[in-house]
A and B are shown apart, each in its own frame.
Chain A
Amino acid sequence: MRLLVKGAGVAGLTAALELVRRGFAVEVAERRRTVGLGASHYAGGMLAPYCEREAAEEAVLTLGIDAARWWEEALPGEVVRNGTLVVASGRDLPELNRFAARTRGYRRVSAEEIAALEPALAGRFQHGLFFAEEAHLDPRRALNGLYEMLTARGVAFHLGSVGQPQEGLFSAVLDCTGPAAIATLPGLRGVRGEMLYLETPDVRLSRPVRLLHPRHPVYIVPRRDHRFMIGATMIETEDEGPISARSLMELLNAAYAVHPAFGEARVVETGTGVRPAFADNLPRVVERPDGLAIAGMYRHGFLLAPATARQAADRLEQRLLPAGKELNHASAHQRGTAGLQELDARRSSP
């Protein structure tokens, strides 16, 4: 049973892994020259279901709560479980209270506790919220890691615009093409996001820091090699053009407000991506004549992809395998515990 996954971003690669774990023969087609160059390339990589609940529906929390564990199992060592620190300047204290009222899973932290968590921020913020259960990863490393693992497990990748496989040869096609699906999926729109990378040895952070502001909330996610990802704008347009001067100023101002040493940092990269989103900003697994589509990841790709991958794999199993049968190409331990639990649950149900 051969399946084709179209699109090698976070939705496609996580789904490919779920399908391989369940014994399907999977191939991945990506029109770009390598994996993870679409919207995923500009992701923050925050596994922050509690914080995201501030402006998202409960489903983001329930579907995302397990994401860190999924990524840890898939890519041991890539997930950093240091929580999230949310801060606001004194004049924006009402924003912090508003954020606290909309979320849970945090404790309020004083200036001393902030200094203990992030010594670089000592004396800079009087009040904060600490979401201890949250985690983060480096999206680019994570997707390259999945790529290598899938290749090692025999998944064929068709990269680049030439030599794409014939879709008719597959039992089903799983469309994970992100913004490229906007033209073909009703209700899907694009939301522009801009971000940048700063590099400085003068600031050290152990976890994502969110700075609340009534107009320009931003997050700073530490990466390896003294780099920091600063993101991200949300603009209702499908324009992929370069970052605007205004957005650049807002992001840099916010970074500077978190720590003045960012003023001396090097701007090593700026980027713009388009997030595919449905009207409720929640992802969906959509039925299509030749298979399924995972669409509308919005700003929650790395947080919700494990859940959509499982959902899509479940539905493809139901669709392609006669009741009571299952593919046996993979041994149980190769599937991973997550897939196993789901299979067990289905076996025991009537």
Chain B
Amino acid sequence: MLSLYETKLSSRLLLGSARYPSPAVLAESVRRSGTEVVTVSLRREMAGGKAGGAFFEMIRSLGVRILPNTAGCHTVEEAVLTARMAREVFRTNWVKLEVIGRHDNLQPDVFELVEAARTLCEEGFAVFPYTTDDLVVAEKLLDAGCEVLMPWCAPIGSAAGPRSLSALTAMRAAFPGVPLIVDAGIGRPSHATMVMEFGYDAVLLNTAVAGAGDPPAMAEAFSRATMAGRQAFEAGMLEPREMAVASTPIVGKGVFA
């Protein structure tokens, strides 16, 4: 079982709720993914401060845990304010903390991120920081009070898949006891399987499902891929070798002439 801030989850797939063809398709995708956590962007849906009532109601009715995010925030102040609003709207202390530093690749501004994380953790939030694979930043986020880390594996929405395998494995090795969730950059189910094989605890994705030709079917594919990767990790995989290793022993083999 995956444990995030003392909440036990059986699904290791977290799903974003943005940019689906329709709320009906989103609901069906969530159902078929088997996910128990759905992220919701508060910012855009609250233009003018009037909550997107019907849309939020629909998300609430899915019966999953809601992880509000601070997508689109560029400063500590914006992110903290958005997190506080989200706590009121969704009545949860969970928040996916996103503080963007660059507009073109949506790279996190890790300096602002750490500061915002410290403020929110002090206020009692359970912070899920969207970060890079930088180990020093990860250390600072843990110092700030985060109990989960969410490194990217490629830019948001890029569908590029894991770009730096060694950085991902190093991070896993550096923080063996911390739940690590790959957030952003996953494009295909095989990407999800790969990072789960590395021992990551979960994956969070949105565009890979929302932008698929058949989002509910893709949600199911990701669910299976995530489970496969986790099961393989737990089962213990072989280390690759340079030379062949015969799968049938030679000694004692019958000789047919």
Chain A interface (Cβ < 8 Å from any Cβ of B): 55-57, 94, 98, 101-102, 182, 188-190, 192, 214-215, 235-239, 241, 244, 246-247, 277-282
Output the nearest chain A residue to B59 by Cβ-Cβ distance: A236
B157 contact from A101, A214, A247, A277, Cβ within 8 A: A214
16 A–B contacts, CB within 8 A, in A order: A189-B23, A189-B55, A189-B58, A190-B54, A214-B157, A237-B48, A237-B52, A237-B53, A237-B55, A238-B50, A239-B47, A244-B48, A279-B22, A280-B22, A280-B23, A281-B24
Inter-chain contact B54/A280, CB cutoff 8 Å: no
Inter-chain contact B55/A101, CB cutoff 8 Å: no
Is B144 part of the contact surface with A, judged by Cβ < 8 Å? Answer: no
Given contacts A102-B213, A189-B54, 13 further A-B contacts (CB under 8 A): A94-B159, A182-B54, A188-B54, A189-B23, A190-B54, A214-B157, A214-B207, A236-B54, A237-B52, A238-B54, A241-B47, A241-B48, A246-B72
| Contact residues in A for B54 (Cβ distance below 8 Å) | 182, 188-190, 236, 238
Output the nearest chain B residue to A188 by Cβ-Cβ distance: B54
Q: Report B51-66 residues with CB < 8 Å from chain A CB.
A: 51-56, 58
Inter-chain contact A279/B47, CB cutoff 8 Å: no
Inter-chain contact A98/B211, CB cutoff 8 Å: yes
A236 contact from B55, B157, B213, Cβ within 8 A: B55
User: Please, how many angstroms separate the alpha-carbon atoms of A281 and B157 in the complex?
Assistant: 24
B21 contact from A56, A98, A101, A238, Cβ within 8 A: A56
User: Please, how many angstroms separate the alpha-carbon atoms of A244 and B55 in the complex?
Assistant: 20
User: Please, how many angstroms separate the alpha-carbon atoms of A153 and B54 in the complex?
Assistant: 40
User: Please, how many angstroms separate the alpha-carbon atoms of A281 and B20 in the complex?
Assistant: 11
| Main DSSP-derived SS at the A contact region | loop
Q: Would A235 and B47 be within 8 Å (CB), given that A189-B55, A214-B157 are in contact?
A: yes
Instruction: Name which of A98, A101, A189, A237 has the most chain B CB atoms within 10 A of its CB.
Output: A237
User: Please, how many angstroms separate the alpha-carbon atoms of A238 and B50 in the complex?
Assistant: 8
Is B123 part of the contact surface with A, judged by Cβ < 8 Å? Answer: no
A192 contact from B25, B47, B51, B56, Cβ within 8 A: B47
Output the nearest chain B residue to A234 by Cβ-Cβ distance: B19
Output the nearest chain A residue to B45 by Cβ-Cβ distance: A236
Inter-chain contact B50/A237, CB cutoff 8 Å: yes
User: Please, how many angstroms separate the alpha-carbon atoms of A101 and B211 in the complex?
Assistant: 11
Output the nearest chain B residue to A192 by Cβ-Cβ distance: B47
User: Please, how many angstroms separate the alpha-carbon atoms of A282 and B24 in the complex?
Assistant: 10
The distance from the CB of B50 to the nearest CB of chain A, in whole angstroms, is 4
The distance from the CB of A213 to the nearest CB of chain B, in whole angstroms, is 11
User: Please, how many angstroms separate the alpha-carbon atoms of A237 and B58 in the complex?
Assistant: 13
| Contact residues in B for A98 (Cβ distance below 8 Å) | 211
| Contact residues in A for B55 (Cβ distance below 8 Å) | 189, 236-237
Q: Report B30-88 residues with CB < 8 Å from chain A CB.
A: 44-56, 58, 72
| Contact residues in A for B47 (Cβ distance below 8 Å) | 192, 235, 237, 239, 241, 244, 247
Inter-chain contact A101/B213, CB cutoff 8 Å: yes
| Contact residues in A for B50 (Cβ distance below 8 Å) | 237-239, 241
| Contact residues in B for A237 (Cβ distance below 8 Å) | 45-48, 50-53, 55
Output the nearest chain A residue to B54 by Cβ-Cβ distance: A189
Is B232 part of the contact surface with A, judged by Cβ < 8 Å? Answer: no
User: Please, how many angstroms separate the alpha-carbon atoms of A325 and B256 in the complex?
Assistant: 90
| Contact residues in A for B211 (Cβ distance below 8 Å) | 98
| Contact residues in A for B23 (Cβ distance below 8 Å) | 189, 279-281
| Contact residues in B for A101 (Cβ distance below 8 Å) | 213
User: Please, how many angstroms separate the alpha-carbon atoms of A190 and B213 in the complex?
Assistant: 25
Nearest 10 interchain pairs by C-beta: A189-B54, A236-B55, A281-B22, A236-B52, A280-B24, A237-B52, A239-B48, A279-B24, A241-B48, A239-B50
Inter-chain contact A57/B21, CB cutoff 8 Å: yes
The distance from the CB of A278 to the nearest CB of chain B, in whole angstroms, is 8
User: Please, how many angstroms separate the alpha-carbon atoms of A282 and B25 in the complex?
Assistant: 12
Output the nearest chain B residue to A281 by Cβ-Cβ distance: B22
Output the nearest chain B residue to A242 by Cβ-Cβ distance: B48
Is B27 part of the contact surface with A, judged by Cβ < 8 Å? Answer: yes
The distance from the CB of B223 to the nearest CB of chain A, in whole angstroms, is 22
Inter-chain contact B44/A235, CB cutoff 8 Å: yes
Output the nearest chain B residue to A241 by Cβ-Cβ distance: B48
Inter-chain contact A55/B44, CB cutoff 8 Å: no
| Contact residues in A for B52 (Cβ distance below 8 Å) | 235-238
| Contact residues in A for B25 (Cβ distance below 8 Å) | 280
Output the nearest chain A residue to B211 by Cβ-Cβ distance: A98
Q: Report B90-128 residues with CB < 8 Å from chain A CB.
A: none
| Contact residues in A for B22 (Cβ distance below 8 Å) | 56-57, 277, 279-282
The distance from the CB of A263 to the nearest CB of chain B, in whole angstroms, is 19
Q: Report B152-178 residues with CB < 8 Å from chain A CB.
A: 157, 159
| Contact residues in B for A281 (Cβ distance below 8 Å) | 21-24
User: Please, how many angstroms separate the alpha-carbon atoms of A237 and B207 in the complex?
Assistant: 21
The distance from the CB of A216 to the nearest CB of chain B, in whole angstroms, is 11
